Structure formats: structure tokens, C-alpha cells
Amino acid sequence: MTGIIPSQTLREMIARGEISGTPEITEPQIQPASIDLRLGTVAYRVRASFLAGGGRAVSDRLQEFTMHQIDLTDGAVLEKGCVYVVPLMERLALPEGVQATANAKSSTGRLDLLTRCIVDGGTEFDRIPAGYTGPLYAEICPRSFSVLVRPGMRLNQIRFRAGEAALDDDALRALHARVPLVDGAPHIDEGLGFSVDLRPGAENVVGYRAKPHTGVVDLDLINHYDPSEFWDRVRTREERIILDPGAFYILVSREAVTIPPDHAAEMAPYVAMVGEFRVHYAGFFDPGFGHAASGGAGSRGVLEVRCHEAPFVLEHGQIVGRLVYERMAEVPETLYGAGISSNYQGQGLKLAKHFRGS
């Protein structure tokens, strides 16, 4: 088996104990090409973000960096600007040849909730080496809003691959010729490039910018919050905006994207030389995203954008990121948007599901 491991094989891995949880992993956690990870019962407020490093356990590093411990059993607020480490309910005993990649879920990224996976001996965030056996931890840093969390909440997800799954540019062109991946001519260069849509919409709105001082977001409350209490609308008549350093924006891609059922994709940031900003915290696109067989006709990608050191002019049609397509080992039993709870199929400019009208 070579490629991204689909849902039916993930169930087999769970049955073999290669992926396990306490309590046991539930069916709603299993997505077409990934598994949602659950927060445990305690959070550690740490002085700084860290990686375990070769030969070191995360639990040992926590003894070095923990400031205090927070019981999540009845819910607790993780405060904006602070760094926390939360042991997850899942652990791995991967066979040799199977590696994993974690990433924030879409709604997590749209809240500017930086969530990364760390593991024992890890030297990279969100990358779990082949054959890893041990616990999983989430590093959580709320950037724009303080959040109320509880045990069992699913902020990030993990995808497993066997062998080399990524398509090179020639294979990507061949795939586009078979199944159009974007509406229009593709920009293929180390992946499928995508650009930002800054054409003025209703009331000249092109996006949203997080307000600097807001209340707490309870992550269990769906379609609950008034967007105007947390977001300012970004307007333009010139098909360009100026990004402010430190500000967080929700924008949308110009392209409508399709992920065929036999592929998955991961959003990667564009090269740093194109501007002082980062795009997209949540990077998994499941098989069937935007695909006609899954109830879609191409879906635009929501862009989570944070500007860095200097103000930066972002213009309509500017390429800001790329999608790396990967082969599935098999087509998943269930596709994104087809009979499962898929919040963002057929999306346009859209805030996280916690806000009314989103």
C-alpha cells in the first residue's frame, strides 16, 4: 500500500492497536483521510513553545517549562497570547514505513488558534516519523481570541501515509487534464498555486479582520456568536488591501478548487520572498472537497492570513500559496461532503462555524 491511508484502513489500524485512544476512538473522529485528535483532561501553561528534541520526552520538557497546570474537566479558558501543551487522548504505535502529519482543523485555523502536534523525540512540529510509538500532545496558542475548551474537543487532526504520495508537477498536470482541479488555467509550480480574491463584493467587503479586544469563544457553541463582536469587515474598491503587522485576516481564494476522490491535498505556504505574511494554518483538503460527486462544483479555499514585520500591499490575483496533491492508497469509503458533517463544502468567504451566518 502506497499513498495516503483512507478511512477504511484507518479503522483496521485502530483494530490492530496502531492507533489507540483512552477512551476508545469513536466513529465521528474518523474522516475520509484523517483522524480527529481529542484534548485530554489537563493543560500545561508553559513559558514558551518547544520541541522535545532527539532522545527527549515531552513529559521531561514539561517539567522544565511548565508555569502551572490547568484542569480542563469542567472547561477552562486558554488565554490569548499564552502557550499551552495538552496531552491528547490518542497515542500511536506505527509500523515501520508509515509516517504521519498533523494539522489544525479548519475551524481551529479560522479562529487564529495556532495548534500544533508535538511528540517524544520530535524535531519538527506536526511531523511524526515512521514507526513512532508513544503519546501525542497538542501545543495551543490562541492568537486573536481567548477560547473555552473541554476534554474531548477536536482541534487538530492527523493523516497517515505509506511511501511517497506527493505528485510532482508533471503528474499534477496530467491529473488536471483528467479532472480539472481549478476553474481556469492552473498555475503549477511545486504544487498548484492559488491566489487571493480581492474583487469587492456586497458593500465592497473582501474579507474580515479580527478585532484586538473581544470576549471568549466557547468552542462548543456553533452558529452562536455575532460576527460583529469579533470581526471587522475589510472593504476595498481598488482590488487591493494593506495588511497591518500582527493583524489576522480571513480572505478567500480566487480559484474554486477540486480534490478528486482518489487524491488528497495539503496547503503549503508560498515562498517567503513574495511577501511578509503567512497564509493558512489549517492545511488538509480531504478527498471529495469541491468534487461534483460529493455535492460540490469546486470550492474556494479560505485563507487565514497573518502579516509579519511590515505593512504589505496584497493585490487581487496575487499568488499566496500552493496545494500539494497526494495520491490516496485507496478511495475512501466516504468522501468529504457526501453524507458526513462537512461544514465547508461549496464555501466562499466564510468565518468559522461558531459565528452566526457562517
Q: What DSSP designation does 220 have?
A: T
Q: What share of the chain is helix, strand, coil (3-state, %, to 5)?
A: 15, 40, 45
Q: Which residues pair with 114 in a beta bridge?
A: 141
Residue 93 and residue 124 in one domain: yes
Per-residue pLDDT at 15:
98
Set of cell numbers at residue 18: 496502531
Q: What DSSP designation does 228 have?
A: G
CATH number at residue 213: 2.70.40.10
The Cα 45–Cα 36 span in angstroms is 23
Per-residue pLDDT at 300:
87
**How many domains does the structure of the chain reveal?**
2
Set of cell numbers at residue 345: 463544502
Residue 8 and residue 102 in one domain: yes
> Does 293 reside within a domain?
yes
Residue 120 and residue 179 in one domain: no
Contact 239, 200 (CB under 8 A): yes
Using the predicted structure, report yes or no on whether residue 269 has a pLDDT greater than 70.
Answer: no
Give 17-58 pLDDT, tens digit per residue.
999 999 999 999 999 999 999 999 999 999 999 999 999 999
Q: Could you tell me the residue range of the domain that residue 183 belongs to?
A: 169-327
| Residue 54: strand, helix, or coil | coil
Set of cell numbers at residue 300: 474556494
Cis peptide before 135, with omega less than 30 degrees from 0?
A: no
Residue 106 and residue 181 in one domain: no
Per-residue pLDDT at 308:
81
Per-residue pLDDT at 346:
46
Residue 7 and residue 138 in one domain: yes
Please give the C-alpha separations between residue 320 and each of 12, 57, 173, 256, in angstroms, as whole numbers: 38, 36, 20, 15
Contact 5, 35 (CB under 8 A): no
Residue 193 and residue 277 in one domain: yes
| Residue 140 buriedness (CB in 10 A; 0-12 / 13-18 / 19+) | buried
The Cα 245–Cα 260 span in angstroms is 37
> Does 344 reside within a domain?
no
Least confident of 76-80, 84-88, 118-122, 303-307: 303-307
Sign of CA dihedral 20, 23, 26, 28: negative
Residue 358 C-alpha from the chain's centroid: 17
Residue 46 and residue 133 in one domain: yes
Question: Which is nearest to 10 in space by CA: 347, 247, 334, 271?
Answer: 334
Per-residue pLDDT at 340:
46
Compute φ and ψ for 261, nearest 5 degrees. -60, -25
Residue 117 and residue 228 in one domain: no
Per-residue pLDDT at 183:
85
Question: Which is nearest to 94 in space by CA: 125, 127, 138?
Answer: 127
Residue 208 and residue 317 in one domain: yes
Q: Which residues pair with 179 in a beta bridge?
A: none
Calculate mean pLDDT across residues 113-119. 95
Give 100-134 as a DSSP string.
EEEEE-HHHHHTTEEEEEEETT-SSTTEE-TT-EE
Using the predicted structure, report yes or no on whether residue 82 has a pLDDT greater than 60.
Answer: yes
Residue 80 and residue 181 in one domain: no
Least confident of 94-103, 113-122, 200-209, 335-344: 335-344
The Cα 224–Cα 227 span in angstroms is 9
Give 217-237 pLDDT, tens digit per residue.
999 999 999 999 999 999 999
Residue 231 and residue 155 in one domain: no
